[in-house]
Chain A
Amino acid sequence: MAGVQVSNVSRSFGAHKALDDVSIDFADGGFYALLGPSGSGKTTLLRQIAGFDFPDSGRIAIGGESVERVPVEKRRIGMVFQNYALFPNMSVADNVAFGLSVRGEAKAVIATEVQRALALVQLGKLGGRRPHQLSGGQRQRVALARAIVTKPRVLLLDEPLGALDKALRVDMQIELKRIQREIGITTIFVTHDQEEALTMSDRIGILRDGRLVQEGPPEEIYNRPKSEFAATFLGDANIFRGDTTGNGIRLADGTAIAAGAGATLAAGAKASCAVRPERIRIATDAGAPDGNANILKGQVSKRIFAGNNSTYFVERAGQTLKVIVQNTGMERLAEGQDVVLRWSPESTVLIAAN
Chain B
Amino acid sequence: MAAATASRNGLRSALPLLAPAYLWLTVAIFLPLSAMVFFSFMTELPLSGKPWAFTLGNYAAFFSQSLYLTLLLASLRLGLEVTLWCVVIGYPAAYVLAKVLKGRSREAIFLLVILPFWSNGLVRIFSWAMVLREGGILDTALNAMLPFKINIDLMYSYPAVIIGLVHSYVPYMVLTCYLTLQAIDDSLIEAGRSLGASRLQVLKRVIIPLSMPGLVAGAALIFVPVVGSFMEPRILGGRTGTFYGTVIEDQFVAVFNWPLGAALSFILLAVVLVILAIASPVLRRAA
B147 within 8 A of A: no
**B194 interface residue per 8 A CB criterion:** yes
Q: Give the segment of A82-90, A252-260, A287-295 that binds chain B.
A: A82-90
CB closest chain-B residue, reference A50: B194
Chain A CB within 10 A, most for which of B187, B191, B209: B191
Q: Would B195 and A98 count as touching, CB distance under 8 A?
A: yes
- Taking the closest CB of chain A, its distance from the CB of B108, in whole angstroms, is 21
For residue B116, CB closer than 8 A to chain A, the reply is: no
Interface-located stretch among A6-14, A70-78, A301-309: A70-78
A85–B190 touching, CB < 8 Å:
yes
Set B188, B190, B201, B206: member contacting A72, Cβ < 8 A: B190
> A71, A83, A89, A102: which contacts B195 (Cβ < 8 A)?
A102
**Which of B191, B194, B205, B206 has the largest count of A CB atoms less than 10 A from its CB?**
B194
> What are the residues of chain B within 8 A of A78 when measuring CB–CB?
194-195
**Cβ-based interface call for B198 (8 A):** yes
Interface contact A72-B194, CB-CB below 8 Å: yes
Residues of chain A contacted by B287 (CB below 8 angstroms): 89
C-alpha spacing A24/B199, complex, angstroms? 30
B190 close to A52 (CB less than 8 A): yes
In angstroms, Cα B192 to Cα A87, docked, is 9
Q: How far is the CA of A88 from the CA of B193 in the complex (A)?
A: 16
Determine the distance from Cα of A99 to Cα of B191 in the docked complex, in whole angstroms. 10
Q: Of all chain B residues, which has the CB nearest A75? A: B194
**A81 touches which of B190, B193, B205 (Cβ 8 Å):** B190
Tell me which residues across on chain A come within 8 A of B194, comparing CB atoms. Answer: 50, 52, 72-73, 77-79, 147
Count A-side interface residues using an 8 Å CB cutoff.
24
B80 at the interface (CB under 8 A from A): no
Any B CB within 8 A of the CB of A103 = yes
Residue A322, interface by CB 8 Å: no
Residue contact B196 to A89, C-beta cutoff 8 Å: no
Interface: A348 (CB within 8 A): no
| Contact of A83 with B185 at beta-carbon distance under 8 Å, contacts A89-B210, A102-B205 already known | yes
Q: Are A73 and B197 in contact (CB under 8 A)?
A: yes
A99 with B195, Cβ < 8 A, contacts A85-B185, A89-B210 known: yes
Q: A72 near B193 (CB under 8 angstroms)?
A: yes
- Does residue A140 face the partner (Cβ distance < 8 Å to B)? no
- Complex Cα–Cα for A91 and B191 (A): 16
A146 at the A/B interface (Cβ < 8 Å)? yes
Q: Which residue of A lies closest to B186 (CB)?
A: A85
A150 within 8 A of B: yes
Interface of B is mostly: helix
The residues of B that contact A50 with a CB separation of less than 8 Å are: 194
Per the 8 Å Cβ criterion, residues 13-42 of A in contact with B are: none
Residues of chain A lying within 8 A (CB to CB) of residue B210: 87-89
Q: Which residues of B have CB within 8 Å of A103?
A: 196
In the bound complex, residues from chain B placing their C-beta under 8 Å from that of A89 are 206, 209-210, 287
**Best-surrounded residue of A52, A73, A83 (most CB of chain B within 10 A):** A73
How many Å from the CB of A113 to the closest CB on chain B? 13
The contact string, 1 if C-beta is below 8 Å from chain B, for chain A 208-249, is: 000000000000000000000000000000000000000000
Chain B residues whose CB sits within 8 angstroms of the CB of A99 once the complex forms: 195-197
Chain A residues positioned under 8 Å from B196 (CB to CB):
73-74, 76, 99, 102-103, 150
Q: Kindly report which residue of chain B lies nearest to residue A77, judged by CB atoms.
A: B194
Given A89-B209, A102-B205, A73-B198 contact (CB < 8 Å)? yes
Task: Determine the chain B residues whose CB is within 8 A of the CB of A98 once the complex forms.
Answer: 192, 195, 197, 205
- Separation of A77 and B190 alpha carbons in the complex (Å): 12
Chain B residues, CB < 8 A from A87:
188, 191-192, 205-206, 210
CB-nearest residue of chain A to B209: A89
Which residues of A lie under 8 Å from residue B206 when comparing CB positions? 87, 89
Residue numbers in A under 8 Å from B209 (CB-CB): 89
A91 to B61 Cα, complex, angstroms: 52
Q: Report the separation of the CA atoms of residues A84 and B170 in the bound assembly, to the nearest whole angstrom.
A: 35
For A85, list chain B residues within 8 Å (CB). 185, 187-188, 190-191
How far is the CB of B211 from the nearest CB of chain A, in Å? 10
Q: Which residues of B contact A76 (CB under 8 A)?
A: 196
Interface residues as binary, A87-124 with B (CB distance below 8 Å gives 1, 0 otherwise):
11100000000110011000000000000000000000
Bound complex: CA A96 to CA B185 (Å): 18
B102 CB to closest chain A CB, in angstroms? 13
Docked complex Cα distance between A151 and B191 (Å): 15
Q: List which B155-192 residues lie within 8 A (CB) of chain A.
A: 185, 187-188, 190-192
A293 → B minimal CB distance (Å): 54
What A residues does B185 contact at CB under 8 A?
83, 85
- Which residues of B have CB within 8 Å of A74? 196
A73-B193, A73-B198, A102-B196 given; 16 more Cβ-contact pairs under 8 Å:
A52-B190, A71-B193, A72-B190, A72-B194, A78-B194, A79-B191, A81-B190, A83-B185, A87-B206, A88-B210, A89-B210, A98-B197, A98-B205, A102-B192, A102-B198, A150-B195
Of the A-B pairs whose beta carbons lie under 8 Å apart in the complex, a sample of 24, sorted by A's number, is A52-B194, A72-B193, A72-B194, A73-B193, A73-B194, A73-B195, A73-B197, A74-B196, A76-B196, A78-B194, A79-B191, A85-B188, A86-B191, A87-B188, A87-B206, A89-B206, A89-B209, A89-B287, A98-B192, A98-B197, A102-B192, A102-B196, A102-B198, A146-B191
- Among all A-B residue pairs, the 8 with the closest Cβ atoms: A99-B195, A79-B194, A85-B191, A85-B187, A102-B197, A72-B193, A89-B209, A73-B193
